[in-house]
Structure 1
Amino acid sequence: MKSLLLALSVFFACLFIANAQSKQPNILFLIADDWSFPHAGVYGDKVVRTPTFDRLAAEGVLFTNAYTASPSCSPSRASILTGRYPHENESGGNLWSEWPAQYPTYVSLLEEIGYFTGSTRKGWGPGDFKVSGLEHNPAGKSFSDFAEFLKNRPDGAPFTFWFGSSDPHREYVANTGIQAGMKLEDVVVPGFFPDNDCVRNDILDYYFEIERFDRECGQLIAMLEEMGELDNTIIVMTSDNGMPFPRAKANLYDYGTRMPLVIRWPKKVKSETVIHDFVNFVDFAPSFLEAAGKTPENMSGQSLWAFLDGEKQDRDQIFLERERHANVRKGDLSYPMRAVRTQQFLYIWNPMPERNPAGDPTVHQSVGQYGDVDHSITKFLMMALEGKAQPGQPDYFQLAFGSRPEEELYDVEKDPYQLNNLASDPSFASVKEEMRKELLAWMEKTGDPRFEHPKSTYWDELRYTPDYQMKDIDWQKQIEEYRIRPPFGPNSQNGIPCTN
């Protein structure tokens, strides 16, 4: 009798395990707004505190070469959802665009097979999805928060939930980083910024919002633990594009495109795994669909699961692009860029170098002067350096706001901030030629209109959805007002020095 009971116990235990293993996983997608690699503790940043991100890295896989498909909110998020490159998403390749409803998303496809779907805060956007006939944001039906979503979830239904924070997007409350205990002297200032306390303070305020995002993600994960769903949930924590500073966001340099990324899913991902191969955000959608048992179709991305299990894939390079970011050039013009990045080199093609990559020096419609760069004290200080480059220092104004040649080539191993363009150096001619060929082959394969028509006006002519008119701002006054703010608490009389 005892042996029979033991056999039955083993049978039902095995049946339970088999059912649990066959259960479709939940998906929790945690996405920041304007957060760059390497700004997390696990990447070696000594200032910003990211215990949630670091925990997921310890319990899952950490990526050191994860790249957004485009360094701009709407096209980046569209590529995440559709598994297609921005130029394949047509109108979805622009910021403030119309949603390309002809292409299904992983959210809509999972909904078809019984997933309960939802989102909160910033999903796909900014842009207009209602004009495309959608009733709710492509990232999922809107809920006030994760708790409300879970309350409405049908019993036993697998779910996919998109948590879209607005951190660390600007505007910032000045001095929040200092007040949170971070120190100016600990900041590592990227080489394309002037290094002074004012810029360091701006970076600390950015760090403050990264930390807030990290805390909120931790709260959502705690809910999963409480309900016993943690290990059956694929958790992805990342960002849409780079930090909102000059030469970062809206640029194809690393600080615009290289993203923090961790994935936790014990069924497929071993703890403390570190991946140095290249991963593109177009890989998310096919990965989620495959995990749910649905075959991805018409997607350019590759599922990550076989790769993480040891399958050899072509991940020696990554392809990057951007079209119109903000509406900041007279005539509503885009600034197109295409790029290929390998472990050693970054090659960028600017097919319309006659246009200004940062936008017009005076306001066209949105944002302000050089409007593809978000307003900040760092931006205003660099604008004030026009014509004032110092011997032995980079020309900070030119790096952020100046015109660029048609081709750029950087040795990213020796030049991590991409300051020294090697495209005209004869000793790198063969490298440049090979990378140009790789880029053009990818453009042809994926049907990029700029392969046959480099100066196409397609993305210029697409509707820019908001209807407002900005004015130029007095940025010199902004510098002065920021300079006299006391950064070390309400009783301090010390202002922040805003010069080199």
Structure 2
Amino acid sequence: MQSSTAAQAERPNIVFYLADDQDIYDYGCYGNEKVHTTALDRLAKEGMLFENAFTAQAICAPSRAQLFTGQYPLKNGCFANHTKSKPDITSVTSHMQKLGYEVVLAGKSHVKPASVYDWNREWEPVPKEGVPREYIPVDSIDHYFKQAKKPFCMFITSKYPHGKYFDVPDAKAENIKFYPFNEHKKDDESFVKMKAGYYRSIEEDNRQLELVLDLVDQYLDRNTLFIYSADHGVSGKFTVKDVGLKVPFVVRWPDIVKPGTTSNQLIHYTDVLPTFIEMAGGKPPSDLDGKSFLPLLKGQDMEIHKYVYGVRTNQNILNAEVFPSRMIRDKRYKYIRNFNSIDVLDKNLGDKENVNVFIRRGAEKFKDESFEELYDIQNDRFEQKNLIEDSELQEIKNRLRQEMFRWMKEQGDFLNDELGNMPILTATGFKLDQNNTVRTIPDSLLNTLKKEDYFVIEHW
């Protein structure tokens, strides 16, 4: 670890701006000419745009926990929404503090426990009139940039464009860009109105980003790394589709990152922490799942990962059902297994009928999703044609499947390649046998699950 005054002076300040629930397809610099993202478009011209950046889970808390720990969801323990990471995890706060950095969270948190995420400073989002969501704490960020005396790593975490969206009167379909996964809704007035409000919320977040970039340019020197991303896509939320897991990722670092460049290399949210550690003069520990992509920023086009992975856990969301999935992806092909597909439902049932009824509900809720899926992303980027039965792709399918289960075992996954293993999970506020604000179950199922029926996650 470097410790000299000169070495410390070379260490960049780090600002990571994270938007909330925004598809990668909804930015000007990623090809959507109908949405206004001028601040990010400017950032892309001044830095490097990543075409293949991923999170492993399209849910807020698990996505952020990966970013802050360098570990995939099952390893760090936060693989269902509103749950905790394992208490013995070492996060970005500890890693970067040991390297002489202050670590700051400005905005939405959504991660716990506090003992793992021990920020030097933390500022909550602030109320703002005339908008549907709270704003980032601009005044606190402004003051901090002016006064900063030592290297810092600041995560600015917006609540936009996550719903509740703006109310846009007289919304028109021609002002929305549609894709194969939603073009059937062009004539759906409520959907068009919702998308118009979402676009307006994107514009509001762009205004926040512009304010932050102006402060960075005003108060910080050129040795400042600035990263923009969004935690996952809203159109693929709770799934393992690319529209959920593929994230925007733009990096500006004057004098280091060549302006107006792109990278097609596979990178992942778990790579962010090891990259920061290396930039700060440290050595990433071996228990991190990610790898440093610092060479890419310095202009070396090299493979960071051959594969990236994804997980899906539907049981800890408001519309909770038993339907876990795992996915593996290389640059071209993607394999998915839906472990409680209707195709294999009978093999997942056990001898407890009070448990079986919820396993059936999950399989029936997603009855159109096959047990196995295989996509040629190069020719079908929106995953419209399942090629799992294609005889010419069986070797690719088997390679991906074998590698995915190897990774799952390494991660300590409770699922495996054997059918009949369908545990049900629980966490505070998300019981399968209880109603909530958006989900009503039959009276006959209320409070029918007992403590011993659940797969227990101790740290939740």
- The TM-score range, normalised by the shorter chain, is 0.7 to 0.9
* TM superposition shift of 1:263: 0.8
Contact residue 36 and residue 257 of structure 1 kept, 8 A: no
Give the SS at the match of 2:52.
strand
Give the SS at the match of 1:62.
strand
Query: Do residues 318 (structure 1) and 308 (structure 2) align?
Result: yes
**What is the TM-score of this pair, normalised by structure 2?**
0.78
Query: For residue 200 of structure 2, what is the aligned residue in structure 1?
Result: 208
Query: Do residues 78 (structure 1) and 65 (structure 2) align?
Result: yes
Query: Do residues 33 (structure 1) and 20 (structure 2) align?
Result: yes
Q: 1:139 to 1:299 in 2, by over 3 A?
A: farther
Give the SS at the match of 1:274.
strand
Query: Do residues 241 (structure 1) and 232 (structure 2) align?
Result: yes
Give the SS at the match of 2:185.
coil
Alpha-carbon distance in structure 2 between the residues aligned to 1:208 and 1:138: 32
Contact residue 96 and residue 465 of structure 1 kept, 8 A: no
Give the SS at the match of 1:409.
strand
Alpha-carbon distance in structure 2 between the residues aligned to 1:161 and 1:59: 20
Mapping for residues 223-242 of structure 1, pairs under 5 Å? 223-227=215-219, 229-242=220-233
Query: For residue 142 of structure 1, what is the aligned residue in structure 2?
Result: 123
Q: 1:50 to 1:171 in 2, by over 3 A?
A: same
Give the SS at the match of 2:229.
strand
Unaligned runs of at least 5 residues, structure 2: 126-136, 346-360, 441-460
* Matched AA of 2:17: L
Q: 1:455 to 1:82 in 2, by over 3 A?
A: farther
* Matched AA of 2:436: M
Q: 1:464 to 1:421 in 2, by over 3 A?
A: farther
Query: Do residues 112 (structure 1) and 98 (structure 2) align?
Result: yes
Aligned with 2:295 (options 306, 309, 326): 306
Q: 1:268 to 1:457 in 2, by over 3 A?
A: farther
CA deviation profile, 1:229-251 (whole Å, cap 9, x unmatched): 152221110111111x4xx1111
Give the SS at the match of 1:167.
strand
Query: For residue 336 of structure 2, what is the aligned residue in structure 1?
Result: 348
Unaligned runs of at least 5 residues, structure 1: 1-17, 357-370, 373-397, 475-500
Mapping for residues 348-427 of structure 1, pairs under 5 Å? 348-354=336-342, 401-427=366-392
Alpha-carbon distance in structure 1 between the residues aligned to 2:430 and 2:122: 22
* Matched AA of 2:254: P
Alpha-carbon distance in structure 1 between the residues aligned to 2:62 and 2:39: 27
* Matched AA of 2:227: V
* TM superposition shift of 1:429: 2.4
Query: For residue 249 of structure 2, what is the aligned residue in structure 1?
Result: 261
Query: For residue 263 of structure 2, what is the aligned residue in structure 1?
Result: 275
Decide which structure has the larger Cα Rg and report it: 1
Q: 1:230 to 1:152 in 2, by over 3 A?
A: closer
Query: For residue 452 of structure 2, what is the aligned residue in structure 1?
Result: none
Q: 1:146 to 1:103 in 2, by over 3 A?
A: farther
CA deviation profile, 1:19-78 (whole Å, cap 9, x unmatched): 599432111111111111121111221101111111111111101111112111111110
Mapping for residues 60-209 of structure 1, pairs under 5 Å? 60-90=47-77, 92-125=78-111, 128-130=112-114, 133=115, 141-142=122-123, 145-149=137-141, 151=143, 155-175=148-168, 178=171, 184-193=173-182, 194-197=184-187, 198=189, 199-209=191-201
Query: Do residues 470 (structure 1) and 436 (structure 2) align?
Result: yes
* Matched AA of 2:205: F
Alpha-carbon distance in structure 1 between the residues aligned to 2:427 and 2:279: 36
Alpha-carbon distance in structure 2 between the residues aligned to 1:231 and 1:290: 19
Query: Do residues 339 (structure 1) and 323 (structure 2) align?
Result: no
Q: 1:454 to 1:218 in 2, by over 3 A?
A: farther
CA deviation profile, 1:140-159 (whole Å, cap 9, x unmatched): 62356243245357652111
Query: Do residues 284 (structure 1) and 277 (structure 2) align?
Result: no
> Percent same amino acid at aligned positions?
26
* TM superposition shift of 1:338: 1.2
CA deviation profile, 1:289-331 (whole Å, cap 9, x unmatched): 11111221121101111233316334343222222463457xx
* Matched AA of 2:122: K
Alpha-carbon distance in structure 1 between the residues aligned to 2:16 and 2:169: 27
Contact residue 319 and residue 339 of structure 1 kept, 8 A: yes
Q: 1:156 to 1:472 in 2, by over 3 A?
A: closer
Q: 1:453 to 1:402 in 2, by over 3 A?
A: closer
Give the SS at the match of 2:394.
helix
* TM superposition shift of 1:189: 1.5
Give the SS at the match of 1:231.
coil
Query: For residue 376 of structure 1, what is the aligned residue in structure 2?
Result: none
Give the SS at the match of 1:165.
strand
* TM superposition shift of 1:283: 0.6
Q: 1:52 to 1:19 in 2, by over 3 A?
A: farther
Give the SS at the match of 2:216.
helix
Q: 1:20 to 1:82 in 2, by over 3 A?
A: closer
* Matched AA of 1:99: S
Count of aligned residue pairs for this structure pair: 400
Alpha-carbon distance in structure 2 between the residues aligned to 1:66 and 1:26: 22
Alpha-carbon distance in structure 1 between the residues aligned to 2:186 and 2:154: 41
Q: 1:323 to 1:214 in 2, by over 3 A?
A: same
Contact residue 82 and residue 110 of structure 2 kept, 8 A: no
Contact residue 123 and residue 137 of structure 1 kept, 8 A: no
